[in-house]
């Protein structure tokens, strides 16, 4: 095939691949493809070649955009501008007071008690005793034992809780001990404590809102207290467990991988 | 700098970097704010926005492209959709225990994406093998959708016919190295 013929041939294939053929041309071209195996092969070759160029072009553009970003927002700068920085600074100062209040509240009420390396039933019993010793408010309703249930159909509140968990889990630079603030409830900051590892720790809960996150995003785990439902949810190893409030100091035991026992107790 | 969106579109052809920078500066802060308010980080916002800009560019350089919405609205909407898709995908990964049927779909999708990335990387390598000026010429023609007149001016060819001949030769070289059944074999 002469070069000029080839030009026409390639242009036709390009027009087909770029949807530029008129209806009658397209119909004719498709008929031809049905009977001409060489044309089908040429179309496939052209498609691959164009894919290659487009991929390279997109790669170039991405590099150019990265360079533009660096120009516009040099390291340390932010697209959000200085106003936000000042806003955050003020919010930070205000938050310090809130943290102080929160810590004081924990000290007074002993609402959250971390217990390290719980391994035996005796440890659980000791912690239960501590709950009583600390005079945590007794439930108004008659106490009854309840076991944790695995929730298969996730209720709406837990979906909301999971969104929050995802939010925290997606923050790659969280550090142990860091306190995140949520400003969702009437602008009142809700502190959330970040822990690197919750395995082997138990927490007594008598507050309004407490959540633990594992920094390792591959092992997302967390607990969330839903005030409206008066229930505590635990998400761990892709299972969601629900704990009912006002049903005695509850104990939840989940055995995993021979010997790893997670306890979660709440009132 | 640009009086309206039409000028920006023209700018993408005449002075790509300036036009891109203008759109970047105009739209990125909104996307950053949206992503950060929806569980994302600054790095993720940057990545998603750049993907959206690539989509926008590819649409905007098409010959039959007509602007149906303001550029800002268009790019923001694309970025938003990309981000929501990413969130949905990551959610599927996290709660696999509850959605076992979704898990298998998601695995297929993940496998497909990985396959596509692999194909893309291989294709780019083939083009790199050609080197310049072929690489540049082909990208100008097929990706940036430049006319032969523009290409001859940019590449300093004597005329558009010369550019056309050169493009033909480069394309033939590329086809020799890119196997037509690449997608099947990879």
Look up the CATH number of the domain holding residue B142.
1.10.10
State whether residue B65 sits within 8 Å of chain A by CB: no
| Interface predicted TM-score (ipTM) of this complex, two decimals | 0.80
Does A52 contact B25 at a Cβ distance shorter than 8 Å? Answer: no
Residues of A in contact with B46 (CB under 8 A): 69
The overall average pLDDT reported for chain A is: 52
Average pLDDT over residues B137-162: 86
The number of beta carbons lying within 10 Å of the beta carbon of residue B140 is: 22
List pLDDT tens digits, range A192-245.
433 334 433 334 333 333 444 443 443 334 444 444 444 444 444 444 444 444
Is the confidence at residue B177, as pLDDT, over 80?
A: no
Q: How many angstroms away from the CA of A112 is the closest CA of chain B?
A: 27
B121: in domain = yes
**Chain A residues closer than 8 Å to B96 by CB:** 238
Cβ-in-10-Å burial (0-12, 13-18, 19+) of B75 comes to buried
3-state SS, chain B, equals CCCCHHHHHHHHHHCHHHHHHHHHHHHHHHHHHHHHHCCCCHHHHHHHHHHHHHHHHHHHCCCCCCCCCCHHHHHHHHHHHHHHHHHHHHHHHHCCCCCHHHHHHHHHHHHHHHHHHHHHHHHHHHHHHHCCCHHHHHHHHHHCCCCHHHHHHHCCCCCHHHHHHHHHHHHHHHHHHCCCCHHHHC
Contacts of A6 in chain B (CB under 8 A): 168
Which domain range does residue B81 map to? 1-94
Residue with tokens 């098409």: B62
Domain residue spans of chain A? 3-72, 78-109, 111-266
Q: Is the pLDDT of residue A32 over 50?
A: yes
Closest CB from A7, A50, A71 relative to B168: A7
Chain B hits for A68, CB-CB cut-off 8 Å, are 17, 20-21, 24
Same domain, B118 and B170: yes
Regarding whether B132 and B58 lie in a shared domain, the answer is no
Work out the pLDDT band at B106, boundaries 50, 70, 90: low
- B65, B94, B123: which is the final residue of a domain? B94
Q: Which of residues 217-236 of A touch B (CB under 8 A)?
A: 220
């Amino acid at each position: 095939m002469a070069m000029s013929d080839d030009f026409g041939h390639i242009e036709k294939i390009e027009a087909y691949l770029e949807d530029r053929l008129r209806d009658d041309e397209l119909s004719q071209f498709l008929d031809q493809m049905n009977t001409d195996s060489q044309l089908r092969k040429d179309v496939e070759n052209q498609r691959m070649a164009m894919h290659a160029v487009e991929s390279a072009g997109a790669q170039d553009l991405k590099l150019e955009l990265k360079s533009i970003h660096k120009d516009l927002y040099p390291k340390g700068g932010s697209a959000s501008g200085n106003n936000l920085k000042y806003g955050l600074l003020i919010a930070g100062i205000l938050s310090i007071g809130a943290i102080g209040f929160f810590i004081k509240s924990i000290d007074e009420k002993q609402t959250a008690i971390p217990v390290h390396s719980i391994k035996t039933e005796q440890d659980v019993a000791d912690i239960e005793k501590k709950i009583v010793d600390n005079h945590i408010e007794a439930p108004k309703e008659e106490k009854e034992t309840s076991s944790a249930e695995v929730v298969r159909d996730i209720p709406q509140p837990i979906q909301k809780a999971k969104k929050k968990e995802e939010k925290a889990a997606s923050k790659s630079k969280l550090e142990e001990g860091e306190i995140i603030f949520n400003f969702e409830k009437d602008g009142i900051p809700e502190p959330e404590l970040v822990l690197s590892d919750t395995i082997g720790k138990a927490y007594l809960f008598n507050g309004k809102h407490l959540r633990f996150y594992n920094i390792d995003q591959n092992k997302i785990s967390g607990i969330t207290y839903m005030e409206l439902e008066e229930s505590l949810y635990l998400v761990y190893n892709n299972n969601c467990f629900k704990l009912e409030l006002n049903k005695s100091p509850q104990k939840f035991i989940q055995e995993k991988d021979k010997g790893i026992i997670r306890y979660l107790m709440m009132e | 700098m640009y009086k309206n969106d039409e000028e920006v579109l023209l700018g993408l052809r005449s002075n790509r970097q300036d036009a891109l920078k203008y759109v970047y500066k105009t739209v990125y802060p909104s996307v950053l704010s949206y992503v950060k308010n929806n569980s994302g980080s600054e790095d993720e916002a940057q990545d998603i926005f750049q993907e959206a800009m690539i989509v926008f560019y590819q649409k905007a350089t098409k010959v039959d492209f007509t602007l149906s919405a303001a550029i800002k609205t268009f790019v923001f909407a694309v970025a938003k959709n990309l981000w929501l898709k990413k969130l949905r995908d990551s959610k599927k990964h996290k709660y696999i225990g509850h959605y076992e049927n979704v898990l298998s779909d998601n695995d297929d999708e993940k496998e497909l994406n990985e396959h596509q990335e692999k194909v893309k990387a291989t294709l780019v390598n083939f083009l790199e093998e050609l080197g310049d000026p072929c690489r540049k010429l082909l990208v100008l023609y097929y990706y940036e959708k430049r006319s032969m007149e523009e290409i001859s001016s940019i590449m300093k060819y004597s005329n558009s016919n010369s550019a056309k001949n050169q493009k033909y030769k480069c394309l033939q070289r590329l086809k020799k190295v890119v196997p037509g059944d690449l997608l099947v074999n990879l």
